[in-house]
Homo-oligomer: A and B are copies of this chain.
Amino acid sequence: MGMLISEDLIGSLNETARAAHEDEFGALGRKLERRGVDIEALVKRAMAWSVAVPTWGVGTGGTRFARFPGKGEPRNIHDKLADCGVIQQLTRGTRTVSPHIPWDKVSDYNALRQEAAQDGLGFDAVNSNTFQDQADQALSYRYRSLANARSDIRAQAVAHNIECIEIGKAFGSPALTVWIGDGTNFAGQQSLSGMFENYLKAMEEVYAALPPNMGLFIEHKMYEPAFYSTVISDWGASLMAAQHLGPQAQCLVDLGHHAPNVNIEQIVARLVHVGRLAGFHFNDSKYGDDDLDSGSVDPFRLFLVVNELDEAEQRGAKGFDPAYMIDQSHNVTDPIESLMASAVEIARAHMQASLVDRKALSEAQEANDVMAAHRTLKAGFLTDVSPILAEARMRQGGAYDPIAAYRASGYRDRVAQERPEVKGAGGGIV
């Protein structure tokens, strides 16, 4: 709380940009008015938007080859909340954080909720971890966790997930997200059907421990850390598992967890159709699960995904109430900057999608007027909605340019004074 950036600084920087902003906001307003769109309604819609930030995302990430930490790496959940508070303060579109267990375990969750609330933050879905061995752990997950052939290892993984549910209650989390790395590196290593059956058995126990108002989000991923097969490798397997478990189980889609070339927005549409879309993990990727900043590789794909979400919301698709979260690895940038920039890019896609003339689009689709339909959709993407996003931020006390304000504030240097330097870590894991 004491760490937040001075409101005076934000205000004075915003004031410097005021004249230019008003010219651009005004011009966009006139342009939209000519399309029959009220910019005020869009500003309000932009102000209502929010995406969760992962607590682990404010630390520098790495690869199996190396990790190059930056200055002022957060040491614990308190440092992480401070960093997330700055992100929310400047962007005003990241009102929740998504914690990770055991990394974010504390002794007093009520105190932590109050600490977060002081920075304007609440808690989103809690994430369990059975893809690593913890120091105090009895049995190893070397050969899988929830899908392990051994019932004692499965039981340990189930117990951890049930503990996460309890912690989630303490956090006020709406859901438990379960991502496992379980799979195999060799053909024949395990029975492909046997692993799935073991997974279902274990997840039945986790599901049974859910309170009625908590969701169980199943996150699929094509590969990595397993390189021959992965138990929950695609949305089909995720859906089969969710259907098996019950109505509180839903399917979480991460942009980087698919095979090359896959049409991800259509997967969103299918899960909406069947009423099982848990939500979306935003990031971007060019090759594998690169976990790059949202919108940095293929912003039109981001737009198309968000457009599908927007379309579902606007037509009131049954049971549609997804959770949105950023899930990225920041290896060469200041994580706070990357998370702010990503939050803005996702909000941009949301605003561009909001601009799509859905009536004209439907008419063109019904008439099989391919070119008109495509152009109607793309008109949203081609509109520079930056003035709306800036207006929405400033009306809520955020920054005209979050990264400029962050840099001007000296926050990173400030926290680096109390957070010790972390040495470059090269694990020799090649």
Q: Are B273 and A196 within 8 A (Cβ)?
A: yes
Q: Are A27 and B23 within 8 A (Cβ)?
A: yes
Which of A31, A137, A263, A373 is most buried by chain B, counting CB atoms within 10 A of its CB?
A: A263
Q: Given A140-B424, A227-B292, are A375 and B262 neighbors across the interface (CB < 8 Å)?
A: no
A272 to B240 CA separation, bound complex (whole angstroms)? 12
Contact partner, A373, options B64, B188, B383, Cβ 8 Å:
B188
Contact partner, A261, options B63, B260, B365, Cβ 8 Å:
B260
Interface of A is mostly: loop
| Shortest beta-carbon distance from A131 to chain B in Å | 5
Q: Are A30 and B23 within 8 A (Cβ)?
A: yes
Q: Are B63 and A34 within 8 A (Cβ)?
A: no
Q: Are A63 and B65 within 8 A (Cβ)?
A: no
A246 at the interface (CB under 8 A from B): no
Interface string of A215-240 (1 = CB under 8 A from B): 00000001111011110011111011
Residues of B within 8 A of A27 (CB): 23-24, 27
Q: Are A265 and B192 within 8 A (Cβ)?
A: yes
Interface residues on chain A, number (Cβ under 8 Å): 127
Residues of B within 8 A of A233 (CB): 263, 266
Residues of B within 8 A of A361 (CB): 188
Contact partner, A188, options B20, B234, B334, B374, Cβ 8 Å:
B374
Q: Are A65 and B143 within 8 A (Cβ)?
A: no
A228 to B290 CA separation, bound complex (whole angstroms)? 9
Residues of B within 8 A of A239 (CB): 236, 239-240
Contact partner, A285, options B227, B236, B337, B403, Cβ 8 Å:
B227
Residues of B within 8 A of A192 (CB): 265-266, 269, 308
Q: Are A196 and B269 within 8 A (Cβ)?
A: yes
Residues of B within 8 A of A381 (CB): 299
Q: Are B430 and A329 within 8 A (Cβ)?
A: yes
A70 to B226 CA separation, bound complex (whole angstroms)? 17
Q: Which residue of B lies closest to A340 (CB)?
A: B371
Copies of this chain in its oligomeric complex: 4
A288 to B185 CA separation, bound complex (whole angstroms)? 13
A276 to B312 CA separation, bound complex (whole angstroms)? 29
Q: Are A185 and B143 within 8 A (Cβ)?
A: no
Residues of B within 8 A of A108 (CB): none
Q: Which of A119-162 contact B (CB under 8 A)?
A: 131-135, 137, 140-143, 149-150
List chain A positions with a Cβ less than 8 A from chain B.
Answer: 20, 23-24, 27, 30-31, 34, 56, 59, 61-68, 103, 131-135, 137, 140-143, 149-150, 181, 184-194, 196-197, 222-225, 227-230, 233-237, 239-240, 258-263, 265-267, 269-270, 272-274, 285-288, 290-293, 296-301, 304, 308, 311-312, 317, 329, 331-334, 337-338, 341, 361-362, 365-366, 368, 370-371, 373-378, 381-384, 386, 403, 423-430
Known: A20-B31, A62-B427, A65-B132. 19 other contacts (CB 8 A): A20-B34, A65-B224, A149-B368, A186-B292, A186-B293, A186-B332, A189-B332, A189-B370, A191-B362, A223-B261, A223-B287, A227-B286, A239-B240, A258-B259, A259-B259, A260-B260, A300-B300, A382-B386, A384-B384
20 A-B pairs within 8 Å (CB atoms) are namely: A56-B428, A59-B428, A61-B429, A132-B428, A150-B368, A186-B293, A187-B296, A187-B297, A190-B373, A223-B290, A224-B288, A227-B290, A227-B292, A228-B296, A236-B236, A260-B260, A260-B261, A329-B430, A337-B371, A383-B384
